[in-house]
Amino acid sequence: MSNENKSKNLSFTRNKVVIIGLGQLGLPVAKYVKEHGFDTFGYDINQKTMQSAEANYGIKQATNFGDFDVLIICVSTHRPDDMFTPQVDGLMSVVEKISREAKAGALISIESTIPKGTSKRVFEKVDHRLHVVHAPHRWYALEEEVHGVNQLRIVGGVSNCCLQHGLNFYDGREVVPQTTETATSTAGIKSLSIPMHPVSSVEVAELTKIVENAHRYLQIAFAEELYLYCKSNSISFSELRESLNTKWNVEVLEPRDGIGGHCLPKDTKMFINSSNTIRSKILQAAMEIDEDYREYFQNAKELNKSCEEKDCEIIKALR
């Protein structure tokens, strides 16, 4: 039996949903799913996190994955001791548990950022019994009202059948067989009402997310290098940036204290490592620029602190 046919005729409802990983991404997803009328459960290896979600938001605790129609994976994909380095061991450990416990025909949606090829690894791990889609998040903590759970997103399926189930769950649409064209919303079917942009392969969905963040990394690294250039040539960076940004298709960003956070460094490394045949020279250079900028920024910070301490000593001496 083919991969497509192995799950095509299995019954599928969408009433009971579990969100796996209730951290910075998973908790907002769980709250959103609950607000849209689904029987919502959560699962997290940190018991305090789980208890907080249950006490504060009514997210019920899942003890196993055996009775769920949809399983949304929101676990971290970086090393526990280094958030700048990608690692999917935790995600695959969750998938191992899903493969043992989940019912046939359920939908697995991976919202975590993952390297190219991971979704098909998951599909193989669950022995093709479950539908697998990748619907990478675009949630941004600092602007949750505008860039929260409900915004236009990408979705790709391991098979066309998987994609159809994913689209039905997220925005209620049905995908036309063997294409990524979509029909109108299906009347009477409960969905999350999130606008989705379906793509022809799950690899495109996986790459979309990591390339988005790699592109952002490049933008910031360019601003960092321009800042260093200005400092070494006695030019006002802020004035140059302001003048550059008067052009309609130019947007030079503001460098701050280096490129950090949970996403950009890790996801940029994911993209660099995603090809066996070509290595991104521009991204590797961008990482070197960020290291130079961080060193400059730290030295300047220490110098300012030293000057402030000396000023304090002078003021005390004058009193």
- Asked if pLDDT for residue 312 goes beyond 70, the answer is no
8 A C-beta contact, residue 210 and residue 117: no
Distance CA(99)–CA(128), nearest Å, equals 10
Q: What is the pLDDT of residue 308?
A: 62
Structure tokens at 200: 């022809």
Specify the DSSP element, H or E, that contains 85.
strand 82-86
| Residue 76 confidence (pLDDT) | 94
Task: State the Cα–Cα distance between residues 150 and 216, nearest whole angstrom.
Answer: 21
User: Is pLDDT larger for residue 317 or for residue 223?
Assistant: 223
| Residue 143 DSSP code | G
Q: Which residues on adjacent β-strands are paired with residue 153?
A: 196
Residue 186 binned pLDDT confidence (cut-offs 50, 70, 90) = very low
Question: 1 pLDDT exceeds 90?
Answer: no
Please answer whether residues 122 and 110 qualify as being in contact, where contact means their C-beta atoms are separated by less than 8 angstroms: yes
Helix, coil or strand: residue 301: helix
**Cβ–Cβ under 8 Å, residues 145 and 120:** no
Tokens 């949606």 -> residue: 109
| pLDDT grade for 41, boundaries at 50, 70 and 90 | very high
Domains located in the chain, CATH noted? 3-199 (3.40.50.720), 208-318 (1.10.1040.10)
Reported as a single tens digit per residue, the pLDDT across 10-24 is 344 568 999 999 999
**Residues 196, 151 contacting (CB under 8 angstroms):** no
Place of tokens 């899942």: 62
In angstroms, rounded to a whole number, what is the distance separating the alpha carbons of residues 187 and 198?
20
- Which amino acid, residue 164? Q
Tokens of 141: 């903590």
Query: Which pLDDT score is estimated for 135?
Result: 98
The single-letter DSSP state of residue 176 is: P
- With both helix axes pointing from N to C terminus, report the angle between 202-232 and 264-272 in degrees, rounded to the nearest 10: 110
The highest-confidence range among 77-86, 105-114, 307-316, by mean pLDDT, is 105-114
Is residue 3's pLDDT more than 90? no
- Summarised one tens digit per residue, pLDDT across range 232-282 is 999 999 999 999 999 999 999 999 999 988 899 999 999 999 988 888 999
Q: What is the mean pLDDT of the chain?
A: 88
Helix (H), strand (E) at residue 119: helix 118-125
